[in-house]
Structure 1
Amino acid sequence: MSPIDPFLPRRRIAYFSMEIALRPEMHTYSGGLGVLAGDTARSCADLELPMVFLTLASREGYLRQEIDGDGRQVDHADPWDLADWATPLDAMVAVRIEGRAVWVRPWLYVLTCPVGHAIPVLLLDTRLEHNDPVDRAISDRLYGGDEAYRLKQEILLGVGGMRILHALGFDIETYHLNEGHAALLAAGLLREHRHPSDRPSDGALRYDADRVRERCVFTTHTPVEAGHDRFDYEDAERLLGDFLPLDQMKLLAGPDRLNMTRLALNLSGYVNGVAMRHAETARRMFPGYGIRAVTNGVHAPTWTHPAFVRLFQEIAPDWGHDPEELLGADQLSDDAVWTAHQEAKGDLLAEIQPLAGVAMRPDVPVIAFARRMTGYKRPDLLFTDLERLRAINRTHPFQVVMAGKAHPRDEGGKALIAEIHAHMRSLAGDIPMAFLPNYDMTLAKKLVAGADVWLNTPLPPYEASGTSGMKAALNGVLNLSVLDGWWIEAWVEGVTGWAIGQDDQRHEDDAQDLYDKLERTVLPLYHADRGRWIRMMKDSISKIGSRFNSQRMMRRYASEAYLR
């Protein structure tokens, strides 16, 4: 009996994602997209949804970040042992890339949540002796290499993933494309649905796209242009061969370049953005498409600190399966909430000392900023006026901890990391500050639970959703954020947290607004009115934790996207 056999009878939905954060030891993710996919899988297990997940094996990981003596990011591979966590399956399929047969083998990882059932995850691997040496590395490095390497990976995920499912015996009715990386899956389905008349008239699609749309769901995740993969058709023809006639591909994916987002939009019957504001932005970016909104959520049991888990169990024993029960968290006692928070904060401070060599105090508020380091996230906004920061700290002391990786090819993001370190060195004698290297799931759990304030400063409208603030809110950490992404839906000023600036097109004053809010509202409240601060902590848990969770998100996908 094959280890995949128990999963075959009920799996009707396949979820394709280039990255999935399954556990810290498996380096199959780079950031928010993968962490969201992991939380999606965990909630699918909890809810017993009939799903199978597919991703790349990514044996070399994404990026292990080192910070050198000058504060610059140094990139390293981040290898892990696939055999330690997954089981190879007795099946292989071939996809043709550059005219060669590239063999793909699936490995099975079984994701089992403490409050749920099991979900199969298939990791696609090309490191096989059957393959040409140049092809063995296709599945190795997440988002590595040049455009040709990326396209090969997307062929592997979309085309190879679909063939793997067929070879293993899955009977899939619905395919969920998590971002455009898997768009070639939809093109592969199109090959199976040629019009009976097969009339090759000029400008006509010779395939039955409607039948493909009935089977495909597409979630787009970013308003940032760089996040929408485009490939030269010359490269596409060289790598894909006659997979789909060029004239047909141009009808679906754009006349100039192979636009994976456009391909997915044209071949998916259900399309959604990941927050209400993001859906509005996506409809402006892609006029003519019906783009709905399913706001992201996080897997509550995964991201809640053990001290708060104990509290939640007392008031809502089923909260892990049904986080809506956290509505009652506003009835927790102040002392219990503060004690739990101080335990989580102590764990974070104990992590900061060895990683950054900075000693921080438990009685001084910690402001945390942790996310991918790139220009539109504006990680340097806090350092716009160093003298103003010093002045605020003299009256209302605070501490800052930051973390985040820049993409290996994002030189602007790397420059921001170096600048942040320079600012921290300048402020070292006045304000305790630390940058924690190699931000990953393990470190994220400490940060979202142990901070006092979760700072978020993206340039609107480029924050599609954001989920780290949701994780922080589950632990009573208060959000201080620009009004973009999910925060517009969760923000109640002075209740669930605070806004930086207004919901408008003017952002040149955001730094001034940030300083004003810290100096006049946030820090004075922490130091002078502990009762009101704890009241906000409880409101954050009850109003945000009960709503912005992946259980609610997956119930919406199931009812609105999968069962349409």
Structure 2
Amino acid sequence: MSDWKEFTRENKIAYFSMEIGLTAEIPTYSGGLGILAGDTIKSAADLRLPMVAITLAYRKGYFSQKIGPDGWQEEYPVEWKPESLMELLPNKTLVTIEARDVKIQAWLYRVKSPTGGEVPVLFLDTDIPGNADEDRHLTDQLYGGDRAYRLKQEMILGIGGARILDVLGFSVRKYHMNEGHASLLTLELLDRTRRPVEDTWDERFLWDTNWVAQRCVFTTHTPVEAGHDHFSYELVQQVLGEMIPIAMLKDLAGKDELNMTMLALRLSRFVNGVAKKHGEISRTLFPGFEIHAITNGIHPFTWASPYFVHLYDQYLPGWANEPELLVRVDNIPDEEIWDAHYGAKSYLFQYIEEDTGVKLDSGILTLGFARRATAYKRGDLIFSDIERLLKIGEGRLQLVFAGKSHPKDITGKKLIQKIVSHIAPLRDKIKVVYLENYNMDVACRVIPGVDLWLNNPLRPLEASGTSGMKAALNGVPNFSVLDGWWIEGHIEGITGWSIGPPPTESSLDANRSGEDVVDLYNKLEHIIIPLYYDNRPGWIKVMKNAIGKNAYYFNTHVMMRRYVTEAYLR
């Protein structure tokens, strides 16, 4: 094993993320944000970019999901041991929380690429002898606890992360905040610029906000209010204290409460949303700020099923590190595309039978819907008119669902329960399964194994969405509302199909569910089902277009090259 100090020999991009999903055995992610972070790091390694990543070592993970007999989600801890997978680094740092010094240590995980690139990921941990018992549990659980617990975690990530990089000897060129959770690092950087200024009355200080902004990049991921953390100033003063004068903090982060997104916006030179539409919505949400758009991507090698990896290796050698080669997908014979898909489908169906006891029919058109269970994702939309669904799909459709709801999201849990409630009544007509404990391993089975990827969020609340990109990489066409990345990837009937009207909304309150449901049923009945069953060459053409017109571009290699040229080198 090489000396970890080798990582400190050149200037780095320091990438901060509250959650990072690298493998299922490191359960420090809940969904899209963490998976995007993991894919970003993997592409950085492939491209040999000088990056170091910082997150927390959640010893109890997010949670393991069980669906009870009544369809209600139950949560259990995911216990894992950083010491079994990572190397403990020798240096520690301190953060003062509620006037107590809290020690922070870092576990090193190395993300290695076949290209020779390697990115160190630092998992911060407060479970250290000498810390107060309550402080030892601060890095236990992702998105757990109350507001104070969340603020303490964000102090550990932002302030502790910046300090641990210093004590370990890292030299940082840019600090990239993946969402607002890490925004407190700007206060740590600001504190480093403090200079005394004498006048006749008292001693005051100057802070160089421009110096901080030049070093910070901020990516905002959500137009949903719940995605923007905010804390009362009473709580901030109790937990954080006064790193800078409270009046100055209010100028930077909001008059009434500390808004982490606003703090990052004010102290970052480069800010971006994660799709063109999301950049537009973000500029509406935060007028006066220059907000760019860099569309998210996925890491090609991670998300291609083994069946397609084999196929791409044979016909498009080098594709994993040059995904633009996927544009040549027409070099692959149709029957081999179909065989690879059929292999992925059979692999999924075997897993479903082992997990649920339900035996699906590989000859039937299978729709997949797997993502976080929350109201705006509208996971139950396809069940809006059961009579119409049966008329369209009896004997011709199968539905595969998966996804977790946040433990405190009662509406999300009710959504899961509602979907599960349809399984028994529809059993002899349309088979429906809900897979428990959706994680990276389950996703790697579900996404390539279905025939059509369904996505129907309320516009314009889907900032980007990356599951559809994973589907396209595996030749699974998208059937999606025109929001997020799909606005850019969609060519009707060519790369997949849209649901509902064009994406003209600029308001977050728009709701056109009625139109969406009608369009969903009409396209299933009159276009998608006939194409699948009656025109196999036509269906395979759409599969190939998904690969050659979507997957070649919507990946983290393309995304990272844009971050380098537009954000990191500015």
TM interval, shorter chain, is: over 0.9
Q: Could you tell me whether the CA contact under 8 Å between 1:199 and 1:206 is conserved in 2?
A: no
Partner of 1:108: 108
Partner residue in 1 for 2:28: 28
| SS of equivalent to 1:103 | strand
Give the Cα–Cα distance (whole angstroms) in 1 for the partners of residues 13 and 28 of structure 2.
21
- Deviation larger for 167-176 or 304-313: 304-313
The equivalent residue for 1:544 is 550
Is the CA contact (8 Å cut-off) linking 1:479 and 1:498 kept in structure 2? yes
Contact 1:190 1:208 in 2 (8 A): yes
Equivalent position of 1:130 in the other structure: 130
Alpha-carbon distance in 1 for matches of 2:553, 2:173: 29
In the other structure, the counterpart of 1:329 is: 329
Deviations 1:46-81 (A, max 9, x none): 000000000000010001100000011001111111
Aligned with 2:382: secondary structure? helix
Identify the match of residue 520 of structure 2 among 510, 514, 517.
514
Q: Could you list the runs of 5+ residues in structure 1 that have no partner in the other structure?
A: none
Q: Compare 425-434 and 409-418 and name the one that shifted more.
A: 425-434
Residue aligning to 1:407: 406
Distance 1:31 1:70, change over 3 A: same
The answer for the alignment partner of 2:207 in structure 1 is 207
Q: Which residue of 2 aligns with 1:61?
A: 61
Identity rate of aligned residues, in percent?
Answer: 51
TM-score, structure 1 as length reference = 0.97
The within-5 A match list for 1:3-402 is: 3-194=3-194, 197=197, 206-394=206-394, 397-402=396-401
| Cα-to-partner distance string for 1:434-454 (whole Å, 9 max, x where unaligned) | 000000000001111111000
SS of 1:509's partner is helix
Whether the 8 Å CA contact 1:228–1:260 is kept in 2: the answer is yes
C-alpha distance in structure 1 between counterparts of 2:3 and 2:115, whole Å: 22
Query: 1:132, CA displacement in angstroms?
Result: 0.2
Verify: 1:419 aligned to 2:418, yes or no: yes
Quote the residue 2:451 is aligned against.
Answer: 452
Give the AA of the match of 2:211.
R
Following superposition, the deviation at residue 330 of structure 1 comes to 2.4
1:330 touches 1:541 (CA, 8 Å); kept in 2? no
Instruction: Decide whether aligned partners of structure 1 residues 357 and 205 sit closer, same or farther in structure 2, where only a CA change above 3 A counts.
Output: farther
The separation in 1 between residues aligned to 2:526 and 2:199, in whole angstroms, is 70
Contact 2:41–2:119 (Cα < 8 Å) also in 1: yes
SS at match of 2:442: helix
SS in 2 for 1:124: strand
Q: Is the 8 A contact 2:278 2:464 kept in 1?
A: yes
Name the CA distance, whole Å, in 2 between partners of 1:454 and 1:292. 28
Say whether the 8 Å CA contact 2:455–2:480 is kept in structure 1: yes
Compute the displacement of 1:130 (Å): 1.4
Report the CA distance shift for 1:190/1:462 in structure 2 as closer, same or farther (over 3 A): same
Q: Which runs of 5+ in 2 are unaligned?
A: 506-511
TM-superposed deviation, 1:206: 4.0
Q: Find the counterpart in structure 2 of residue 476 from structure 1.
A: 475
The separation in 1 between residues aligned to 2:90 and 2:198, in whole angstroms, is: 38
Could you tell me how far 1:198 is from its partner in structure 2?
A: 7.5
Residues 11 and 52 in structure 1, CA contact (< 8 A), matched pair in contact too: no
CA deviation digits over 1:224-276, x for unaligned, max 9?
00010000110100011122221111010000011000000000000000000
Q: 2 CA distance for matches of 1:2 and 1:128?
A: 26
1:264–1:9 CA distance, 2 compared to 1 (3 A) = same
Q: How far has the Cα of 1:429 moved from its partner? A: 2.0
How many pairs align? 561
- Whether the aligned pair in 1 keeps the contact of 2:48 and 2:115 (CA below 8 Å) is no
What letter corresponds to residue 490 of structure 1 in structure 2? G
In 1: Cα distance, 2:513 partner to 2:418 partner: 21
Q: Is the 8 A contact 1:205 1:248 kept in 2?
A: no
Instruction: Decide which moves more: 420-429 or 22-31.
Output: 420-429
Verify the 8 A CA contact 1:198 1:207 in the aligned structure 2: no
Structure 1: how far apart are the matches of 2:124 and 2:116? 25
**TM-superposed deviation, 1:2:** 8.3
Q: SS of the residue aligned with 2:514?
A: coil
Contact 2:196 2:205 in 1 (8 A): no
TM-score by length of 2: 0.96
**Residues in 2 aligned to 1:546 and 1:384: alpha-carbon distance in whole angstroms:** 35
**Partner in structure 1 of residue 509 of structure 2:** none
Partner-residue secondary structure (3-state), 2:422: helix
Q: CA deviation digits over 1:475-496, x for unaligned, max 9?
A: 0001000000000000000110
Report runs of 4+ in structure 1 exceeding 4 Å deviation: 195-201
Query: Residue type matched to 1:89 in 2?
Result: L
Q: Structure 2 counterpart of 1:4, which letter?
A: W
Matched to 1:549, the amino acid is N
CA shift in 2, pair 1:29/1:220, >3 Å: same
- Go from structure 1 to structure 2 and tell me whether the alpha carbon gap of 1:352 and 1:205 turns closer, same or farther (over 3 Å shift): farther
